[in-house]
Every structure is written in structure tokens, then in C-alpha cells.
Amino acid sequence: MSLREQAAAGTGASSGLREQARAWLEENLTGPFAGARGLGGPGREHEGHEIRLAWERHLGTAGWTCLAWPERYGGRAASLADQVAFHEEYARADAPARVGHIGEGLLGPTLLRFGTDEQKARFLPPIQRGEELWCQGYSEPDAGSDLAGVRTRAQLVGGRWVVDGQKVWTSLAHVADWCFVLCRTEPGSQRHRGLSYLLVPMRQPGVEVRPIVQMTGTSEFNEVFFDGAVTDAANVVGAPGDGWRVAMATLAHERGASTLGQQIGFRRELDKVIETARRTGAAEDPVLRDRLVRAWLELRIMRLNALRTMRPDPGPEASIGKLYWSEWHRRLGELAQAVQGRAGLVAPEGELNDLQRLYLFSRADTIYAGSSEIQRTIIAERTLGLPRQ
């Protein structure tokens, strides 16, 4: 049976773990964690951080984090079908958004591929246990989509890397313990050459984090300033100067098995949009009704395409998924406003409702984690083999 058939039916290789996950979540999202249901997520990362952090550690203790990792580092060596099953059950249970997803989903796979044994032993167990949180230090004011233009620099001084520069749009930097930083370590180097991938502690005098207030009124993105921040010489992943290759491998893991769980959240949002359209009478408008039907169909296509392209080591074709879901979600946000009518233009006492928040935050979907323009370029050049611009 194919991954698509297993994940869609909840049978085959994923059936046992799916049932275990469903039972465990039902039993544990109670008592002190009952209030954690539904907390967090894009545009709502300010919600319930402390209880979500406690939940992250509870998950780790029970062995429900880092499922794909080898058992020696606390994982289960789970198959891709099992990972999909867990993420789907997690979303169906309305469990809180994970606070450790950057460490588990991005840094962890990178260390497993490029890290030394010492780095794996030091950094992987605290991620699995939910004891250390990570953020991603890639984008800069003049190097966002054009990541090869990074100017943050680091030099070895007395057995330590000294880091100076600025990062921006750094998700969850205000709560992170560590940051994996792409920086220039060879003076005079340009573009992809001379970059290194450093692991830098966030809680030190040389690091300043400034939250960026979004249209939703919340702050989950940040500016990060490094002014003489230090990290041990051993905290470079891969060889010095080989950071571009390591950084690109990290990005490939942004489109993993968790996207199937994300789509269940999308379905929940779409259901609320449809419910609102019925309540306001917008569903009687033939144009809006056509847009609602189209949104439903495109969400089904999104799932089928994700199952079709899912594999353990994602390639450049993973950009198809990011391009598709971000454009779809942005259109859903616009539809969410349309079905509310004039009421959607008003936020009493400054409090946004769920559909207003969906509309405002979804404007960023086609920009963060690689803009739509960049995704189209990757698809054209690296998947279809078209000539470079």
C-alpha cells in the first residue's frame, strides 16, 4: 500500500501508531492541559506559552516528540506514514501548537545529517525533551528572499566565534534558548561562498531581541541584533565555509509530514468560513458560493498532492506544496472577510474575531518561509530544469 493510501485510510503501517496517538491525546489533553486545546499557531503564538511549554515537555517524556529521529536520540525511527498519522491525529485532537517545532523539524534533521557525534549528543536530547527551544537566524534586512546576500559576520577569536550583525523576521526568537545562524566567516567572500552555519546561545549580553508588531497586534516575529555575541568554536555545523549547503538542507525540511496536520487546521478554518457564510446569507450569493466550492476542492487537491510528493528527504519539488498552500490560504483569508460583509470591517474595542485574524495574518503566508516568487524560481530551475534567469 502506498503512503497516500496508508495515510488517507489510517491503515497499513500507520494504523497502530495512529490509534496509540489518538488514545494518548484523548487521555492527556485533560486536567492541567485541558485549557491548552487550540492554543497557539500562526498569528496566535502569544497564546499560553507557559502551558504549551509544559505540554511540550510532557510530550517529550511520553515519547511523542521527534518521532522520525533514531531511538538513541529519543525518537522512534518512525516511518513517514507513521509521522503523517501522528500529525493528523494531533491536529484532529485540537492539541496546542508546538513550541519546539523549529528544533525538532529544522535543526534536528540537519544535525542528524551534518552534525558531529558531540553536537548530536549535546543538542538533540534537550530538543526531544522540550528543554531547549530554537529559532532560525537566516533573513536580514537586505537578505530576505535573496538569502545569499547575508552580511552577519563571525570570526574566530581565542577559540570562540564572535558574531556581529542583524537578523529579521526571526520567529519565536523572544522565547528561544538557541539560534542557528547563517553568517559570513570568510572576509571578502560573496554570495554562497564563505558562509558558515553556527549554533549561537540567545541568552547572553551580546544578543538583543526586538519584537515586530504585526497587523494582528501580536508579535511572534522579531529583529535580532548580534553585537559581539559568542559561541564555542565547535558549534559550527558542517565545515566552516560550507554553510550554504547546510542551510539549504535545513530549508528542505520545512515542508515535512507536519503539513498534513496543518491541512486539518485549514479544514477547520474553511468550515468556519462556510458556517459564517450560511449565517450571514453570503452563501446565497452565486459568486461567493462558487468561491467556497473552489476553496473546498482546492483543499482536497492540496492533501492529495502532499501525499503524492511526500518523502523522507524532500527535494526542490517540496516548493510546489509551499506555493500551493500559501496562495490558497491567502485566498481563504480574503474569502473569510467577504462572507462577513460589512461586519468584517469592524473590530469592537480592537478585538479581532477569528476570521479577521485569519485574513490579516494570511497576508504574510506568501512571504515568509520563502516568498511565492522564490518558490516559483526554485520550481522552474531546480524541478523543471528551465534556464536560470
269 is annotated as an active-site residue? no
**Distance in Å from the first CA to the final CA of the chain:** 41
Catalytic residue among 56, 132, 140, 254: 254
Q: How far apart are CA 159 and CA 247, in angstroms?
A: 23
CA distances to 39, 47, 98, 113 from 35, in Å = 8, 11, 15, 37
- What's the grid cell of residue 240? 566552516
Alpha helices in 1-144 (DSSP H): 3-9, 15-28, 49-61, 80-92, 101-102, 108-114, 117-128
Q: How far apart are CA 345 and CA 336, in angstroms?
A: 11
Q: Which of 286, 281, 289, 182 is nearest to 241 (CA)?
A: 182
Q: State the CB neighbour count (10 A cutoff) for residue 36.
A: 21
Q: How far apart are CA 313 and CA 253, in angstroms?
A: 8
SS3 per-residue string spanning 180-211: EEEEECCCCCCCCCCEEEEEEECCCCCEEEEE
Rg, C-alpha atoms of the chain: 21
Q: Which residues are catalytic?
A: 254
